[in-house]
Amino acid sequence: MRIADYSVTRAILDRHGFTFKKIFGQNFLTDTNILQKIVDTAEIDKNTNVIEIGPGIGALTEFLAENAAEVMAFEIDDRLVPILADTLRDFDNIKVVNEDILKSDLQTRIKEFSNPALPIKVVANLPYYITTPILMHLIESKIPFAEFVVMMQKEVADRISAEPNTKAYGSLSIAVQYYMAAKLAFIVPSTVFVPAPNVDSAILKMTRREQSLVQVQDEDFFFHLAKTAFVHRRKTLWNNLTSRFGKSEEVKAKLEQALEKADIKPSIRGEALSISEFAKLADALKEAGF
Residue 27 annotated as binding site: yes
Indicate the burial class of 17 (C-beta count within 10 angstroms; 0-12, 13-18, 19 or more).
Answer: exposed
Contacts with 102 (C-beta within 8 Å, 6 or more apart), sequence order? 130, 133, 134, 137
For 205, phi then psi, to 5°, come to: -105, 125
Which amino acid is it at 6?
Y
The three-class DSSP label of residue 55 is coil
Cα distances (angstroms) measured from residue 262 to each of 75, 149, 287: 46, 35, 11
Residue 259 annotated as binding site: no
Residue 125 annotated as binding site: yes
Are 71 and 61 in contact by the 8 Å Cβ rule? The answer is yes
Q: How far apart are CA 51 and CA 126, in angstroms?
A: 12
Residue 67 annotated as binding site: no
Nearest residue to 87 (alpha-carbon basis) of 107, 73, 106: 73
Q: If residue 48 lies in a helix (H) or strand (E), which one and from where to where?
A: none
- Annotated binding site for S-adenosyl-L-methionine, which residues? 27, 29, 54, 75, 100, 125
- Annotated binding site, which residues? 27, 29, 54, 75, 100, 125
